[in-house]
Amino acid sequence: MKAPSSTTFALLGALLIAISYGLARFAFGLFVPPIRDDLQLTPYMVGVIGALPLISFVFATLVAPLSAIRLGARNTAMASGVFGAVGLGLISQASGVVSLSVGVIACGICTGLMMPALTAAMQALVDRSVHGRVSSVMNAGTSVGVAVAVPAVLFMAGQWRWAYMAFAVLAVIGLVATWYFIPSVSRVRPANAAQPPISALQWWRLFRLSLFAFAMGFVSAAYWIFAPDLASTLGALPAGSTAWLWLGVGIAGLGGAVVADLADRNNPPITQALMLMMLASSLALLAASPGQIVIAVFSALVFGLAYMSLTGLYLMTGIRLLPGRLSMGPVLPFVAVSLGQAAGSPVVGLLVDELGYANGFSIFAVLGIVVAMLSPLYPRYLEWEPDEEAEEDTGLQAAYDYQLQDEEGEPITESSEEWSYEEDGWDVGESGKQ
């Protein structure tokens, strides 16, 4: 294993996230029209199949932290890569509902295992002062992966099997890079860091955060699974032209990290309300004018910015709510988002079957507006003080710094860290991180 620099690790992480999130998870909706036609699936069945990788993602996410400890970061990331390559390959050869379902379930497991493995590796390889920056680069991989799927549709319209086979090859390349660069370290943490007990107030705030994350996932399921199908079916757009929707989602999603960082510096509840209104507007725009490619792509830009901003906001809020528990704070809202998508996917499929695309998307847009109106209940995780240092204690890097506290609840500085880690099953103590 060759230890990469912080920059190399960030780019590697973005590549692996692009494969596991962008291609294995979110690219499915882009290929729904040809898959539905070839396998003769109803919208409701598409919705059910679209929920399966989200459910397997949740189960994989719950066991991933334990896997990263027991098996190590490298083995967990390689297991993710194997599931991704197998799942994408199975989808490319799917002959019916069962084989397609098994493929998407494997892809969901791939997605759930990857980020915890990369987080464990980041602690081992990357200086804590740049954890926020590296995490932002890695998170951007989702948008990159979504955008990478666009050429596959533009140049291989109707040949979705070859596209998924190409994705499987990319997953194998990512697997080789994982073996070469990711260390086998199991756990890295400051030995003098405390894990304070979780108070009732923290649980209540985390519960409210998870409810909002679930609702956002529920509403967003309509776009992720059915937006290209709506544009090609209701709007009669050519199959290849729907790829521009995912390009818009990918490009606009890159701005999500900036919005989330600004929210941490200003007012998270207001930011969530605005982003949810944008999310609902994207659904309404697409349902109103699916046959006009310019408006359809604009709706994708709005959706991409809103969705990635909200997931970034939930990540940061989860980190803030549970200092000292990085394996729990940001995980629960992401699980809630996936559960919301898993619940919303068959519901929107049923609505499309019964009421049509326009009405189904309109109902989900109304739900998004209702949730946005409840944003004053969003948990306020910072006590905003009118001092001059408040601005310095915001942003993703500050959220990571805030995680490490001593027994008195004071942040641990890098100079006071006493590092302890496990590698290949052995405990190793260090006086300072090498």
Query: What mean pLDDT do residues 244-249 have?
Result: 84
> Is the per-residue pLDDT at 413 higher than 90?
no
- The amino acid present at 282, given as its one-letter code, is S
* Superfamily of structural domain 1-188: MFS general substrate transporter like domains (1.20.1250.20)
Note the pLDDT of residue 2. 57
Q: 413-418: long-range contacts (C-beta < 8 A, 24 or more apart)?
A: 414/127, 414/128, 414/129, 416/192, 417/128, 417/190, 417/192, 417/193, 418/190, 418/191, 418/192
The model's pLDDT over 44-95, given as tens digits with 9 standing for 90+, comes to 999 999 899 989 999 998 888 888 878 888 899 999 999 999 999 999 999 9
Enclosing H/E stretch for 427? strand 426-429
- Determine the Cα–Cα distance for residues 378 and 372; give it in Å rounded to an integer: 10
Note the pLDDT of residue 431. 32
CA angle, 378 as apex, 210 and 267 as ends, to 5°?
130
To the nearest whole percent, how much of the chain has pLDDT over 70?
79
119-123, 133-137, 234-238, 312-316: which has the minimum mean pLDDT? Answer: 234-238
> Is the per-residue pLDDT at 286 higher than 60?
yes
Radius of gyration of the chain (CA): 21
Mean pLDDT in the chain? Answer: 81
Among 63-67, 107-111, 135-139, 386-390, the range with the most confident prediction by mean pLDDT is 107-111
Note the pLDDT of residue 388. 39
> Is the per-residue pLDDT at 140 higher than 50?
yes
The model's pLDDT over 123-133, given as tens digits with 9 standing for 90+, comes to 777 777 777 77
- Determine the Cα–Cα distance for residues 245 and 247; give it in Å rounded to an integer: 5
Dmax (CA) of the chain: 65
Note the pLDDT of residue 165. 94
Q: What is the dihedral sign for C-alpha 182, 339, 403, 71? A: negative
Note the pLDDT of residue 33. 84
pLDDT-based confidence at residue 410 (cuts at 50, 70, 90): low
* Sheet containing strand 185-190, strands side by side: 185-190, 419-423, 426-429
The span from the first CA to the last CA of the chain, in angstroms, equals 17
Enclosing H/E stretch for 188? strand 185-190
- Of 255, 387, 365, which is closest to residue 313 (Cα–Cα)? 255
432: left (phi over 0), alpha (psi -120 to 50) or beta: left
Query: What mean pLDDT do residues 99-122 have?
Result: 91
Note the pLDDT of residue 211. 95
Note the pLDDT of residue 185. 66
Q: Within a 10 A sphere around the Cβ of 174, how many other Cβ atoms?
A: 26
Enclosing H/E stretch for 186? strand 185-190
For the chain, give every domain's residue range.
1-188, 193-381+390-406
- The amino acid present at 431, given as its one-letter code, is S
Note the pLDDT of residue 278. 95
- Determine the Cα–Cα distance for residues 372 and 150; give it in Å rounded to an integer: 31
The model's pLDDT over 378-393, given as tens digits with 9 standing for 90+, comes to 987 544 433 434 444 5
- Determine the Cα–Cα distance for residues 229 and 236; give it in Å rounded to an integer: 10
The model's pLDDT over 320-329, given as tens digits with 9 standing for 90+, comes to 787 766 666 6
- Determine the Cα–Cα distance for residues 240 and 206; give it in Å rounded to an integer: 42
The model's pLDDT over 5-53, given as tens digits with 9 standing for 90+, comes to 788 888 899 999 999 988 998 888 888 888 988 999 998 999 999 899 9
Query: What mean pLDDT do residues 227-233 have?
Result: 84
**pTM strictly above 0.75:** yes
CATH architecture of 193-381+390-406: Up-down Bundle (1.20)
Note the pLDDT of residue 100. 95
The model's pLDDT over 293-312, given as tens digits with 9 standing for 90+, comes to 889 889 999 999 999 889 88
Query: What mean pLDDT do residues 153-168 have?
Result: 84
DSSP helix/strand/coil, 410: coil
Note the pLDDT of residue 152. 78
Domains 1-188 and 193-381+390-406 share a fold: yes
> Is the per-residue pLDDT at 418 higher than 60?
no
